[in-house]
Amino acid sequence: MVDHAALRKDSEALLGSPVQAAALFVIDIGRLAPTVGGITGAVVADSVTELITDNLLADGFAQGVGYVAGQHAVYANAAGAAGLTPVMILAVTEEYFSLLDWNGNVRSGTGPTMVFARFERTNAQVTASQSGPTHHITLTQNDVSIKVQCNLGLLAPGKKEMRDVLAALGVQ
């Protein structure tokens, strides 16, 4: 479980400035790519399951694991190609919206250790859309644009912190 107080404190230490809000966001690579990655993972799981057993429960479990692994691979590849991590900290200070690295997933991990991008609050363009419980955010300044997303669904961890960041961004 992510300690959000420590996440905020560690973000403040790295940025050298008080953090008003901080939460974990996932790189937004669009709606098609995760589905394709999930399908690829599920197909791979089919092959593996045939080698193990014909048990229906095992088959369903392997397909689920394969789907998640495929999705994760798509996100990791997209983030790596952009020089980012799949999950990032979006920290808001008085002057900046900052994207920081996070080594882990939305439920556990470590960081931050570096700043990927800083957007001046007064000059950054923030656009947002929503599909169900998922909020898609695009931060743009000059020629730098980064898309992230967060999920405020029923079982999503860190919802309060994500809502605080969305409010600071002026999109909720």
The tokens 């014909």 sit on which residue? Answer: 54
Does residue 76 surpass a pLDDT of 90?
no
* pLDDT score recorded for residue 73: 53
What is the pLDDT at residue 23? 97
Percent of the chain with pLDDT over 70: 69
Confidence of residue 67 (pLDDT cuts 50, 70, 90): very low
The pTM assigned to this predicted structure is 0.73
Choose one of 80, 110, 144: the last residue of a domain. Answer: 80
How buried is 115 (Cβ within 10 angstroms: 0-12 exposed, 13-18 middle, 19+ buried)? middle
Phi, psi of 112 (to 5 degrees): -90, 160
For residue 111, what is the domain's CATH number?
2.30.29
Domain shared by 24 and 36, yes or no:
no
Per-residue pLDDT of 144-162, as tens digits, reads 899 999 999 998 999 999 9
Residue 54, Cβ density class (10 Å: 0-12 exposed, 13-18 middle, ≥19 buried): exposed
pLDDT at 170 over 50: yes
- In the prediction, which pLDDT does 77 show? 57
pLDDT (tens digit, 9 = 90+) per residue, 40-64? 434 444 444 444 444 444 444 444 4
Q: Are residues 49 and 127 in the same domain?
A: no
Domain that holds residue 156: 4-30+88-169
Task: Please indicate, yes or no, whether residues 66 and 131 belong to a single structural domain of this protein.
Answer: no
Q: Are 157 and 107 in contact (CB under 8 A)?
A: yes
**Overall domain count for the chain:** 2
Helix (H, G, I), strand (E, B) or coil at 86: coil
Q: Are residues 164 and 93 in the same domain?
A: yes
- Give the Å distances, CA to CA, from 164 to 124, 129, 139, 159, 169: 18, 17, 16, 9, 9
Q: Are residues 42 and 22 in the same domain?
A: no
